Amino acid sequence: MDKEQELRDELIWNTGYRMNESLRMIKICLDKLPEDKIWQKPNESSNSIGNLILHLCGNITQYGIASIKNEEDNRKRDEEFEATSGYTKAELIQKLSDTIDEAKRAFYEAPLDELLRKRFVQGFNFSGVGNIIHVTEHLSYHTGQIALWTKLLENKDLGFYDGVDLNVKNE
């Protein structure tokens, strides 16, 4: 395998791993919350967990699927934040899981020239690799918000790394 292919595979694998980790953490949060808390907002300038999940699905679809696959961008971003109901916890997790799976497939199937090609998304000019990095960090950012809001609502440790010794030193 040539070095370019090895680098591409390493980037895509690690992206998928990080996206799966965020999904795992969001599932843990939703499992700890009753249905009536999913659409509750901390205040008027913040978003509910339901809004954040819809927002993640829209963003991942726009940057990670439509852009990478050269498909039409049908995102209606404002609607992600206007929703106050319409999905259960199970439906939200399924929607996010399906969106993440589709994005990971798009990343794996994209030819190298598509990963390097610059394109405009939301007015920003990035390569496919830039969009993949954006999707990963954006998902992680909102996963942290969901975790914090869950902790504030439930006043419980989320146990993301139960059974893992996080004090082990680098080798």
CA distance 72 to 65: 10
Q: Which fold has domain 3-154?
A: Four Helix Bundle (Hemerythrin (Met), subunit A) (1.20.120)
The pLDDT of residue 69 is above 90: yes
Give, in order, the Cα–Cα distances in Å from 105 to each of 38, 45, 170. Answer: 28, 35, 32
Tens digits of residue pLDDT in 126-151? 999 999 999 999 999 999 999 999 99
Q: Give φ, ψ of 126 to 5 degrees.
A: -135, 160
Spell out the domain ranges in the chain.
3-154
Interval 47-61 mean pLDDT: 98
Burial class (CB in 10 A: 0-12, 13-18, 19+), 162: exposed
Calpha distance 163→41 (Å, rounded)? 32
Helix axes 89-109, 128-154, angle to 10 degrees: 160
Q: Could you give the residue ranges of the DSSP H alpha helices within the chain?
A: 3-32, 49-59, 77-82, 89-109, 112-116, 128-154
Whether the per-residue pLDDT at 1 is higher than 90: the answer is no
Please give the average per-residue pLDDT across 39-43, as a whole number: 94
Q: First vs last Cα of the chain: how many Å apart?
A: 27
Q: At 60, which amino acid appears?
A: I
Among the listed residues 34, 49, 35, 21, the one whose alpha carbon sits nearest the alpha carbon of residue 149: 49
